[in-house]
Amino acid sequence: MDIATLQAYGYFFFTGFLVVVLYSYIYHLYSSQKKGIRDYEKYSNIALHDDITDPPIEEISKNDEIKR
């Protein structure tokens, strides 16, 4: 087995790994939105609504302020 064959196998497995990571990330986004944990579509408007007078995307509760 020469180096070109090893590179081909490495490229194939790395590409497969990246595909698995991409699809698991997409699944995480949709499942967390469906469960109501977090709505990521609100974050897509952050570039459009970035004025100082715009309301925040998520309110910080008192419990979250204590943890930080």
Structure tokens at 25: 């990330």
CA distances (Å), 38 to each of 10, 11, 26, in order?
36, 35, 14
**Quick check: pTM over 0.85?**
no
Distance CA 32, CA 41 (A): 12
Distance CA 6, CA 14 (A): 12
**15-58 residue pLDDT tens:** 999 999 999 999 999 998 889 888 888 888 787 878 888 887 77
Distance CA 60, CA 56 (A): 9
